[in-house]
Amino acid sequence: MHFALVSLFPEMFTAVSDHGVTGRAVTQAVVTISHSNPRDYTTDRHRTVDDRPYGGGPGMLMKIDPLQQAIAAARQVAGADARVVYLSPQGRRFDHSRAVALARETALILVAGRYEGVDERLIEAEVDEELSIGDYVLSGGELAAMVVIDAVTRQLPGVLGHALSAEEDSYADGLLDCPHYTRPETYQGKTVPDVLLSGNHEAIRRWRLKQALGRTHERRPDLLEGRAMTAEENELLAE
């Protein structure tokens, strides 16, 4: 998978390129990353990348021209057919199923905006998909782009080991994760649930599923609404 990043702050992306699971994916070349910076496509002395909005109002917008040229440069690297994703609070909500779908692409161009946003005509001309990572406003699209990179990378074959496969991730089965425990067996007077020490794998599986169902029911009932339940799940939830 190639991620072609269009951003005024390429250094920010070291958070995913240099660390942890995503960093390893880069080292192993399962993921490659390129950058194009709109500032490199300015022509004036001040290398201006922002401009005032028509109609007035507070804040600035990103200038069309440098941004369009940076996207063109990203297409050169990612391929002419690469999907262009613009991160913004106006986008469709990014979720697990979108991460799984985007992981099937061979390249993604991720456009991170700054200031109050970009000219709508640029979105119409260049962008295939607008994505939001949640109902709040960030100071730029970079953090959102990194969220997409991380969630998509986890879905690529070979990135997570067998013991920690993407199918085991919370949300892969549409449920929140069950609680987890590690040593010591007693911590501040609280003990690990007996079943986890029992060695009974079937009992452990059922306990974990029941916990996941209970948590999802309590904290995120919306996740259960459109989800088909198995007979076992109904039984465990009713217990």
Q: Of residues 89, 129, 130, 215, which has the active-site annotation?
A: 89
Residue nearest to ligand ADE as judged by C-beta position: 144
Element (H, E) at 146: helix 142-153
Q: Is 88 a residue that touches ligand ADE (CB under 6 A)?
A: yes
Whether 85 contacts 131, CB under 8 Å: yes
Which of these, 75, 28, 134, 176, lies nearest to 17 by C-alpha position? Answer: 28
Between 12 and 138, CB nearer to ligand ADE = 138
Among 23, 53, 89, 174, binds ligand ADE (CB under 6 A): 89
CB of 208 to ligand ADE, least distance (A): 32
CB of 98 to ligand ADE, least distance (A): 12
Report CA-CA distances (Å) from 201 to 63, 176, 237.
Answer: 59, 20, 20
Q: Of residues 65, 116, 129, 150, which has the active-site annotation?
A: 116
90, two tokens: 């106006």
CA triplet 134, 96, 132: central angle to 5 degrees? 25
Between 78 and 110, CB nearer to ligand ADE = 110
* Residues within window 136-165 making contact with ligand ADE, judged by CB under 6 A: 136-138, 141, 144
Q: Of residues 10, 75, 114, 154, which has the active-site annotation?
A: 154
Report CA torsion sign: 113, 117, 121, 123: positive
- Which 3 state secondary structure label does DSSP give 72? helix
User: With CB under 6 A as the contact rule, which of the stretches 26-34, 103-111, 131-139, 190-198 interacts with ligand ADE?
Assistant: 131-139
Verify whether residue 89 is a known catalytic residue.
yes
Report CA-CA distances (Å) from 10 to 34, 44, 111, 141, 148.
Answer: 9, 21, 11, 11, 15
- Over the window 1 to 20, marking each residue x when it contacts ligand ADE by CB under 6 A and - when it does not, the resulting string is --------------------
Residues acting as catalytic residues:
89, 116, 154, 169
Residues near ligand ADE (CB under 6 A) are: 87-89, 132-134, 136-138, 141, 144
